[in-house]
């Protein structure tokens, strides 16, 4: 069974996608960026954008009955390779060991965004 999670309290976008889709006990969360509750981009330095994006991801996970500690895979997008060192310093502050599997793409964003993240997480019983 496929369940599409949407709720006005969840961070959202004006683009055509579901914030999260659940299949069984796996939750697929769409890319989260530095946006406010209305979906407007919040321009910030790299750290501010990364923390806001992961905060938005965490809000969706929580709404769906999961959390950052239940993330099994992240995909991370950096606007520029120059952010790689800062990203690697911030990541273990936001995700704890044992770390989820991870993919990082640089030069993978357009526009003004510096960072975006999506993930796969587990919901329900472990």
Q: Quick one: average pLDDT of 66-79?
A: 98
CB-CB contact of 112 with 35 (8 Å) = no
Query: Tens of pLDDT along 81-108?
Result: 999 999 999 999 999 999 999 999 999 8
The model carries a pTM of 0.94
Look at strands 71-78 and 2-5 and give their pairing.
unpaired
Q: In the prediction, which pLDDT does 126 show?
A: 60
State the number of CA atoms in the 13 A half-sphere of 93 facing the CB.
10
Structural domains of the chain ordered from first start: 2-122 (3.30.1330.40)
Q: In the prediction, which pLDDT does 117 show?
A: 98
Q: In the prediction, which pLDDT does 33 show?
A: 95
């Amino acid at each position: 069974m496929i369940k599409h999670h949407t709720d006005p309290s969840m961070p959202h976008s004006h683009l055509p996608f579901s914030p999260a889709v659940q299949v069984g006990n796996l939750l697929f969360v769409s890319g989260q960026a530095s946006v406010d509750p209305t979906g407007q981009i919040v321009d910030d330095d790299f750290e501010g954008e990364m923390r806001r994006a992961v905060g938005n991801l965490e809000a969706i996970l929580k709404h769906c009955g999961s959390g950052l500690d239940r993330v099994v895979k992240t995909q991370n997008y950096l606007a520029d390779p120059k952010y790689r060192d800062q990203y690697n310093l911030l990541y273990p502050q936001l995700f704890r060991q044992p770390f989820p599997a991870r993919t990082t793409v640089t030069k993978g964003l357009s526009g003004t965004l510096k960072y975006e993240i999506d993930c796969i997480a587990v919901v329900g019983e472990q």
